[in-house]
Chain A
Amino acid sequence: MGLDLFDAPLRITWTLKDAAPLSESELGRIAESLVEGGIFFVTLGGDAWRHPGLETLIRQLDGGSVQVTLVVPLCRAGFSVLNPDLPLTRLLLDIGAVVDEEGWQNAEVVDAVKNFRKLGYYPELQLLPIRGRLEQLPRLFQVAGEVGVAGVKLPNFPLVDRPDLASRVLEADDLESFRPLAPTCRRSSTDLKLEVHDLFLWELLCPEAPREHYSGCQAGNGLAHISAEGDLYPCSSWQLRIGSLLEQPLADLWQSQARTAVCSEIGTTPRDCRDCHAYEICFGGCRGLARCLGTSESRDPLCKEPR
């Protein structure tokens, strides 16, 4: 696999805590580094929605031509703290906390979406597909159609910020159990823009729509992650700290040996994938998950077996 190495990431996910440990001025310094690096897309997650420096941060990124996505959890306070005219490219309403409760109602999601619309935002829905939630996907797509959101996102597993989720990362058997439900999701999602990080879950949900432009794991190349402490990682699933953005500019960290080693590792076929005929399709899948839950030679844990 040939990798085109970028001067800087194209997309960055950035987790914030609501106040500590990064101050507003520290956020500003990191944002400046991202603007200088020419980052295209930044997704602000975690407690970003209630960080006191959120508005300033979003405006600074927007002023530097960075397209900003904000993830807000579905909760009573979620919509009430947002200023109505923030320059967001996209707002994602994370419904994870709701679907984990037994007996959740579609109306909770519908009402939240409508509340955001009153503020001038048109949220899409997000659900982290950890174990125990796949069976909720048909409901997710049903409610997405019911309230008419434009898209649904199923993001990757954020093991950098939530190492406790490692035991709930999906495995191949989970996908097999979900397989009979996938057609129901597909029928409900025909008009939705669907963004699924995991290639194997994507295959189940969109068997007729191969990822033509997919060229393998983009961790440490087109993709990076910033933790709540301001540390740079290859992606939110890859628990390798490249360095602190409070101590070094992004451009310098991106040229570091730690980062280029990630690219070299991704460019090498893992031992577990060597005899697989589908390698030229998946390129080993999510290398961050494979590495953090196994070794650099492991298959993506959602891959059942070599094909």
Chain B
Amino acid sequence: MKPKRNPDVIWRHEQRREQQLLEAAERGEDISEGGTVILVVNGTMHQLNLLGGEIWRRCDGETELAAIVQEIGAEYEVAAEELEQDVREFLVDLQQRGWVTDA
């Protein structure tokens, strides 16, 4: 699968916020609700958390799902099996919302 972002979805990577969240995570704080990517879909704003944002930014229609898992796994030292499951579930959700397709 090569997930591809729906071009109708407007989005932005919040790099400064992401940095702040990473620093908060280092201090042991829960950052699961913190958004690092903002999406505007049909006028409504949504936010993706750190992992969701990492996945979303790689949904370019050229990167295979396995490569997405590998890249994120290497960056965050997460067990591959668990991460793949999370990525798959997240992408299914995005597909159901119509925010990504399989290129």
Contact = CB atoms under 8 A, between A and B. Distances in A.
Contacts, number: 29
Chain A interface residue bracket vs B: 10 to 19
Interface string B49-81: 000000000000000000000000000000000
Contacts of A65: 10
Interface in B5-45: 10, 12-17, 34-35, 38, 40, 44-45
B17 A7 contact: yes
Contact of B47 (A4, A8, A40, A255): A4
Contacts of A38: 12-13
A5 B17 contact: yes
B interface secondary structure, majority: strand
B78 to A, nearest CB: 25
A7 B34 CA distance: 13
A6 B14 contact: yes
A5 B24 CA distance: 15
A10 B45 contact: yes
Given A38-B12, A67-B10, A4 B35 contact: yes
A40 B40 contact: yes
Given A40-B40, A213-B44, A213-B45, A7 B10 contact: no
Interface of B: 10, 12-17, 34-35, 38, 40, 44-45, 47
Interface of A: 4-8, 10, 38, 40, 65, 67, 213, 222, 255
Closest 6 CB pairs of A and B: A38-B12, A7-B16, A7-B14, A40-B10, A40-B40, A213-B44
